[in-house]
Amino acid sequence: MFVRKFSLRDFRSWDAVTVDLAPGCTVFVGRNGHGKTNLLEALGYLSALSSHRVASDAPLIRVGAAQAYVGALVVNQGRELGVDVEINDGRANRARINQSPTGRPREIMGILQTVLFAPEDLSLVRGDPGDRRRFLDELLTSRIPRMAAVRIDYDKVLRQRSALLKTASGALRRGSRSSEGASALATLDVWDGHLAAHGAQLLEARLRLVHDLAPHLVTAYRSLAPESRPASVRYRSSLGDSLPLELLDPARKPERDDVALLEASFLHELSVMRSREIERGVCLVGPHRDDLELYLGDQPAKGFASHGESWSFTLSMRLGAFFLLRADGGDPVLMLDDVFAELDGKRRSALAEIAAGAEQVLITAAVPEDVPDELSATRFGVAAHDTERGRISLITRMDGPSQWEVTDDRRAARDGGPRLEGP
Ligand SMILES: Nc1ncnc2c1ncn2[C@@H]1O[C@H](COP(=O)(O)OP(=O)(O)OP(=O)(O)O)[C@@H](O)[C@H]1O
């Protein structure tokens, strides 16, 4: 898969631009803060409908603009599809495939598959469980787009059940036998059932994912850091003793009736934890409390891994995702944001070798020397300029082949924005 062309309008520091790309390696070079990451973030958004840097859409819209636009022409096994999304502040986003509006934006997920590695990823090793859950769920959705709906349904039920627990807990604390508290308790059973049903589906999908991902991750770590202790991962579930331990073994092949077993375990753990949940007023059981544990040898990577080992581990998680999507028959665009400057010579070469095997790799670097020579690349310069429209990023072709055109689309922007002509 590769992006043949992409267009941005009013996305972060970008006013309006269209860039033609080719398969192989493309490097965006520019000084810190000039807009390189914004380009990769835009493509990542088109792929996952979320940013790797912010939880809400508002910061993605250029200051002073009402909406942002990201579009791309994606070539997958010779077939070209146009996909674009309009990001609106305070209103629903709108997406199109080949210029036809989709019912829901998430219908475009899966058309462009990307794997992005960015400096923020260090939080995968050092950060909270939420960062690792997000990693798993994003990969899950990239692999199986319908999992986005399962996740949304689970979150809805979780919010509803959490509100009930809070009400019941408040009533208990006040010592009142209010009708509100009593009705919250009475409906809890129903919501336990919904939570277990949706949660078991999500949990089964995550366990299957970890089983499939683990070998790729382990291999990627070994090739990046052959002298280090071996990397391994293990899913940690909040279902406690209610869950048969062997289900968490990444080496165990998931089975078809696991969902039913997980749902039964889920319901059992909810009954075990019921009084503690009511006491605390929070939902303590479910995939929203789980974690992906990372190990180097026998030690947890968090707290024990050196800076270099942490970088290698996070990179291996992303590369593992890349290899997994490829093994599934996909061919994601690999995006490496400012990564080479952090790696020693050996790890740079190992990564360059892996990157050279991808159909398309997009790399950002502050200086061209950061990118290994073996990635003979088309290069674009990115620089921000102060204009009457504010500080705007511009792109220029450097030493790449002359057929790849860059267009500054300011005129098109005035006429309604850059548009991909579609196939
Ligand atoms: N919504 C927005 N509107 C306008 N400008 C924005 C917006 N969001 C971010 N920017 C600007 O984008 C710039 C940062 O761009 P980006 O993160 O792509 O930099 P970079 O070239 O990757 O830098 P580094 O090499 O330091 O990672 C900053 O100058 C920031 O002010």
Predicted local confidence at residue 131, as pLDDT = 95
Q: Given the CA of residue 38, which atom of ligand 1 is nearest to it?
A: 18
Q: What pLDDT shows up at residue 175?
A: 66
Q: Which two tokens stand for residue 381?
A: 């310069």
Count of residues in the chain: 423
Give the per-residue pLDDT at 419: 47
pLDDT per residue rounded down to tens, the chain (423 residues): 999 999 999 999 999 999 999 999 999 999 999 999 999 999 999 999 999 999 899 999 999 999 999 999 999 999 999 999 999 988 899 999 999 999 999 999 989 999 999 988 999 999 999 999 999 999 999 999 889 999 999 999 999 999 988 887 777 677 666 666 667 677 888 999 999 999 999 999 999 999 999 999 999 999 998 888 999 999 999 998 999 888 898 889 888 889 999 999 999 999 999 989 988 989 999 999 999 999 999 999 998 999 889 999 999 999 999 999 999 998 899 999 998 888 888 888 888 988 888 999 999 999 888 888 888 778 999 999 999 889 999 999 886 443 334 444 444 443 434 444 433
Cα–ligand 1 centroid distance for 52 (angstroms): 14
The residue assigned the tokens 């080992």 is 309
Instruction: Give the DSSP per-residue string, 120-145.
Output: GGGHHHHS-HHHHHHHHHHHHHHH-T
pLDDT of residue 107: 92
Contacts of 257 (CB under 8 A, 6+ apart): none
62 lines ligand 1 (CB under 6 A): yes
Residue 361 region by backbone torsions, left for phi larger than 0, else alpha for psi between -120 and 50, else beta = beta
* pLDDT score of 343: 83
Tell me, what's the pLDDT at 188? Answer: 86
Q: Tell the residue nearest (CA) to atom 25 of ligand 1.
A: 32
CA of 400 to the centre of ligand 1 (A): 24
**pLDDT score at 121:** 92
Ligand 1 pocket test, candidate residues 12, 15, 39, 43, most atoms within 8 A of CB: 12
Closest CA to 322 of 423, 224, 187: 224
Residue 216 labeled ligand binder = no
User: Measured in angstroms, how far is the CA atom of residue 287 from the centroid of ligand 1?
Assistant: 34
Distance between CA atoms of 146 and 127, rounded to whole angstroms?
A: 28
What is the set of domains in the chain, with CATH numbers? 2-113+331-414 (3.40.50.300), 147-293 (1.20.1050.90)
Burial status of residue 344 (CB atoms within 10 A of its CB: 0-12, 13-18, 19 or more): exposed
What per-residue confidence (pLDDT) applies to 26? 94
Determine if residue 36 is labeled as part of a ligand binding site. Answer: yes
Q: Which amino acid is at 186?
A: A
Q: Give the predicted TM-score (pTM) of the model.
A: 0.88
Nearest to 153 by CA among 220, 205, 110, 113: 205
CA distance 30 to 396: 10
Ligand 1 atom 26 nearest Cα: 32
* Residue whose token pair is 């934006």: 105
